[in-house]
A and B are shown apart, each in its own frame.
Chain A
Amino acid sequence: MTHAVAADDVWKYYGDYPALREIRLAVEPGSCLALLGRNGAGKTTLLRIFAGFSKAGKGSVSIFGRDARDLETRRRVGILGHGISVYDELSAFENLTLFGRLYGVADRRKTALDWLERVGLRHVRDGLVREFSRGMRQRLAIARAFLHDPQVLLLDEPFTALDDRAIAVLQTVLRDALARQCTIVLSTHQLREAMELATHVALLARGRLAYHGERSAEMLSDPGWLYARYGES
């Protein structure tokens, strides 16, 4: 069976410093991988390589067996990173229809309106994003990432700095995504939220894969257990 997301002997250097070393992991379709590790462990670097923002120095990554930069692959991937990736000078509706057009969403106006309704922004559909509160911008970013119904979601610390309403929206759409067999890779420091969603866990320590396997009962009952057993001292 083709893996949804796979890394084969991935190395990444920043100058002489190896940010990632010998990363080999595979994520099966429909599963949720929590990518854990301390700051600087290489989580964001690995996610950026999966997303096609950055190239591996050595080794390769694939999404459903194809190159991450392949246009067809990118159509199947949704990304929520550190930034909200929406334009301040456009309205909420214009932002969503813009990305709907770029992703080739069939009925982009209806889809955009549906997502604005779902994240509670339909009443401000024509308001410019620069006039939005931080929470509203975050909810719009969630709608932007899920708009094209992606089969793979790459989420870089998705819960960080979200307000309570945005967290609730994100948890709902993530559960819905898992229910429809979407594959999720999320990096996070929020262990409890991650363990509740994850079916698998990978722990990075100084650019190396310290652990990769199914989420166990110990991890769920004690989210710090993984760090204590496999993490850096």
Chain B
Amino acid sequence: MAFWSQTFTIAAKDLRAELRSKEAINASFSFSLTILLLFSFAFVEEATIDIAGGLLWIVFAFAGALILNRSFARELPNDCLDALIAAPLPASALFLGKALANLLLLLAVEAVSFPVFGVFYNARWTGQFWTLALVAVLGTWGFTVIGTMFSALTVNLRLREVMLPLLVYPVMIPCLMAAMKLTGHLIGGEPLDAEMMVWMRFLIGFDVIFTALALALVDVVLVS
């Protein structure tokens, strides 16, 4: 019980700090909307279904890096990370709290991006809304877990803004592949067939494995 209370305390603290400073969320929203707007001029309407999954998840991945970069970097001013490491909370609760806050911030960006995509690309994306929402949550959790872990790993590096994407993107390729395939398929209005269920299981497996790995390794990452 204390574990979850501490996890939600960290998540609430991060969300409150971000909503007050708006450092990452504003940049992330602006980036997403700009890319969606610009790309809408580059593609013809007939190609929308083919590119939907790839376009959306590339936007989410790059916009997400802006949020994930701030996750542990937020603790650096005033040496707040030291206070959290010294506090009697498991490193896994600290990690999970931060990952939850990042997930909610990224889902907020996605919640705005999907309707904007629908308007700019004249696409009906709500046909299988709940399945699409499930894919969005699973895909976002996958790269949030990896991104939050690498955010902890790179927090003390001078070039962390450069290092984080370099480390994160190669690892999240399988997760993005699955999310892209499923999203494109669902926006195209097709039901989940056997092939798509394989991608869905793959995405769930990816989330479970990387969440377990991150929770097991985070203490080693934070205390050198």
Q: Which residues of B contact A53 (CB under 8 A)?
A: 82, 85-86, 223
Cα distance A144–B82 in the bound complex, in angstroms: 13
Q: Verify if A72 is at the interface (C-beta below 8 Å from B).
A: yes
Q: Which of B6, B21, B78 has the most CB of A within 10 A?
A: B78
Beyond A54-B223, A83-B80, A102-B9, is A90–B16 a contact (Cβ under 8 Å)?
Answer: yes
> A89 and B20 in contact (CB under 8 A), knowing A55-B224, A75-B88, A102-B89?
yes
Interface string of B70-91 (1 = CB under 8 A from A): 0000000111101111111110
A126 in contact (CB, < 8 A): no
Any B CB within 8 A of the CB of A26: no
Establish whether residues B5 and A54, one from each chain, have CB atoms under 8 Å apart when the complex forms.
Answer: no
CB pair A85 B16 closer than 8 Å: no
Asked if A103 is an interface residue, CB under 8 A from chain B, the answer is yes
Within the complex, the shortest CB–CB distance from B85 to chain A, in Å, comes to: 6
Within 8 Å by CB of B90, from A71, A77, A81, A85, lies A71
How many residue pairs link A and B with beta carbons under 8 A? The number is 79
B124 CB within 8 Å of chain A: no
Q: How far is the CA of A87 from the CA of B76 in the complex (A)?
A: 10
CB of A86 within 8 A of CB of B9, answer no
Instruction: Determine if A52 is an interface residue (Cβ-Cβ < 8 Å).
Output: yes
Contacts of A214 in B (CB 8 A): none
Chain B residues with CB below 8 A from A128, complex form: 20
A96-118 with Cβ < 8 A to chain B = 98-99, 101-104
A90 touches B13 (CB 8 A): yes
Please tell me which one of the listed residues B2, B13, B85, B219 contacts residue A98 in the complex, with CB atoms under 8 A apart: B13
Q: For the complex formed, measure the closest distance between the CB of B100 and the CB atoms of chain A, giving whole angstroms.
A: 16
Contact B13 A87 (CB under 8 A): yes
**Residues in B neighbouring A94, C-beta threshold 8 A:** 16
A99 touches B82 (CB 8 A): no
Q: In this complex, which of B17, B87, B224 has the most chain A Cβ atoms within 10 angstroms of its Cβ?
A: B87
Q: Which residues of the other chain, A, contact B87 by a CB distance below 8 angstroms? A: 74, 99, 102-103
Are A77 and B16 within 8 A (Cβ)?
Answer: no
A83–B78 touching, CB < 8 Å: yes
Contact partners of B5 in chain A: CB under 8 A: 101
Tell me if A51 is interfacial: C-beta within 8 Å of chain B.
Answer: yes
Residue in B closest to A129 when the chains form the complex, CB atoms? B78
